[in-house]
Amino acid sequence: MSAREKWNRWVLNFGTFSNLLMLIAILSFPVGTGLVTGVWPKFEQLMPALLAVVIFILPWAPGETIGFMPVMGPGPLYMSYVTGNITNLKLPATVGTINSLGVEEGSDECHVISLIACGASSITVIVIVALGVLLAVPLKPVLEAPMLKPAFDYAVPAIFGGLVAQTIFKNKTDAVLYLIPLAVTLFLTYCTSLNSAYFMLIVIILSGAVRVGYYLTKEKKAE
C-alpha cells in the first residue's frame, strides 16, 4: 500500500469516527434531558417538524458533498462537517488559499493546503465564537446599529463574489464556461418559483456537463 493510500485510509477512518462521535454528542443532550426529566416530544408533533427539516436539508447535502469534495478534499470536508460554517467560512478560506498559492485543484498538494487552511479557519472560528460569547452583551448595541445592518446583509455575497471572480478569470475559457451556469442560475432565481435549495444540484450537474463537454470537444480536436 502506497503512502497516499495509507493517508486516504487514515483520513476516511478518522473522519468517519470523529463525525459519528460528534453525532452521538449532539444527540446525547436531548436524549439525556429526556431521560432525566421524563419529558419526551409526542410522535405526532415531532414527525412534521422532522420531515420539514429533512426536506429542506436533503437537496443541500449531496450538492455540498459533490461540489466541495473536488476543491477541499476529504480531510477538510470531514473537519468542516464537524465544526460547521462550510459555505460562509471554510470554503472561502480554502479557495482563497488555493488561489493565492496557485495550487492545482484536486492535487495532493491542494488537499494538504486545504487541510491546513480549514484547520486554521476552524481554530479562528472557535476563538471568535468564544470572544463573541463573552462580548455579546456589551457589543449588542453596536452590532445591531442600523448603519451596520447592510454590511452584515451583504457579507456572504461579497465574499463569494470575490472568490468567483478569482476563479473564473484565471483564463478566458473558464470565464466563458461559467456564463452558462450563471445564466441558468439567474433564470431559476428570477423566472421560477423553484426552491433555492435545488439550485445547487441543478447548477453543479450543469457545470459538470459543460466542463465534460468542453473537455471531450478539446480532445476530439486534438486527435
**9 plus 83 within the same structural domain:** no
What are the helix (H) ranges across 38-154? Answer: 43-57, 60-72, 74-83, 91-101, 108-143, 149-153
Closest to 120 in 3D by CA, of 158, 69, 74, 76: 76
**Is 21 contained in some domain?**
yes
| Residue ranges making up the domain that contains 8 | 1-36
7, with CB counted inside 10 A (0-12, 13-18, 19+), is middle
Last residue of a domain, one of 97, 113, 147: 147
In a domain, 123, yes or no: yes
* Domains held by the chain: number: 2
- Whether residue 90 lies inside any domain: the answer is yes
Residues 85 and 121 reside in one and the same domain? yes
Same domain? For 67 and 100 the reply is: yes
The answer to whether residue 117 sits within a structural domain is yes
Sequential pLDDT tens for the chain (223 residues): 677 788 888 888 888 898 899 889 988 988 898 889 888 888 777 777 777 677 667 766 776 777 777 777 888 888 888 877 777 778 888 888 887 887 777 777 888 888 888 888 888 888 887 887 788 777 777 777 777 777 777 777 777 777 677 666 666 666 777 788 888 888 888 888 776 667 777 777 887 788 788 778 877 777 6
> In whole angstroms, what is the distance from residue 148 CA to residue 29 CA?
36
Indicate whether this model's pTM tops 0.75: no
143 and 79 share one domain? yes
